């Protein structure tokens, strides 16, 4: 299943794709650095900032070519650097505990990781990145039923070693996800509105 999976008829698909339009720029930059999830359910999305000392091309290539770390998606500062790196059904190596820090858990089997490019000298994110990460997170949450409170920062699950994504405006991000959810919920029906109750979902799908 592609990230822009078909949504019923052509008109509905066009409406959906228009709402997450930045994702049409995504290309594949595959890696072999991943593992099986071992049957663990995907219930979390982890947002990262690269805090890189390299440019966007070198930073994305480093993630694709590394032998000990990887990510599902890379969002650069514009549409030329938007990549799918690890398939969602595989565990990327982005939120584990390789240094065996006490109290830090391995989130790799349960999570999807999204890396946003920033630098060690400029901890900020562009309008494109805010829009794109919101569109991507909306799409993943809708497809996989991931709750709002399960979209977390790397810092929140490994505060001992990590502080990323620094200076990320979570309120702005969440408002943008809500805007997409409300738009598509209004145009395509309640099944496209995030965080509706299980009872409402059963009614919508006729279970």
Summarised one tens digit per residue, pLDDT across range 128-187 is: 999 999 999 999 999 999 999 999 999 999 999 889 999 999 999 999 999 999 999 999
Ordered by start, the domain boundaries in the chain are 10-205
The list of the chain residues with pLDDT below 70 reads 1-6, 196-207
Which residues have C-beta within 8 Å of that of residue 92, sequence separation ≥ 6? 33, 34, 70, 71, 72, 85, 86, 108, 112, 113
Q: Report the mean per-residue pLDDT for the chain.
A: 92
Question: Does domain 10-205 bear CATH number 2.60.120.200?
Answer: no
Q: What's residue 6's pLDDT?
A: 59
Taking CA 51 as the corner, what is the angle to CA 176 and CA 167, rounded to the nearest 5 degrees?
40
Model pTM?
Answer: 0.91
pLDDT in tens, 170-185: 999 999 999 999 999 9
Long-range contacts of 58-62 (CB under 8 A, 24+ apart): 59/117, 60/29, 60/85, 60/117, 61/29
pLDDT of residue 9: 84
Please measure the distance between the N-terminal and C-terminal CA atoms of the chain and give it in whole angstroms: 23
Exposure of 74 in the CB half-sphere (CA atoms within 13 A): 31
């Amino acid at each position: 299943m592609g990230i822009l999976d078909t949504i019923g008829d052509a008109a509905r698909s066009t409406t959906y794709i228009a709402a997450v339009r930045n994702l049409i720029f995504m290309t594949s930059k595959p890696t072999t650095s991943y593992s099986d999830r071992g049957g663990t359910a995907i219930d979390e999305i982890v947002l990262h900032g690269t805090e890189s000392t390299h440019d966007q091309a070198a930073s994305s290539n480093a993630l694709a070519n590394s032998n000990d770390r990887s990510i599902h998606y890379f969002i650069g500062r514009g549409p030329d650097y938007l990549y799918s790196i690890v398939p969602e059904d595989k565990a990327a190596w982005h939120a584990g505990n390789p240094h065996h820090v006490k109290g830090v858990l391995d989130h790799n089997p349960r999570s999807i990781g999204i890396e946003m490019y920033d630098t060690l000298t400029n901890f900020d994110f562009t309008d494109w990145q805010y829009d794109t990460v919101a569109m991507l997170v909306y799409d993943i949450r809708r497809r996989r039923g991931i709750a709002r409170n399960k979209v977390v920062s790397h810092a929140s699950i490994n505060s001992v070693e990590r502080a990323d994504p620094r200076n990320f405006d979570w309120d702005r991000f969440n408002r943008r996800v809500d805007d997409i959810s409300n738009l598509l919920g209004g145009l395509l029906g309640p099944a496209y509105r995030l965080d509706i109750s299980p009872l409402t979902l059963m009614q919508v799908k006729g279970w």
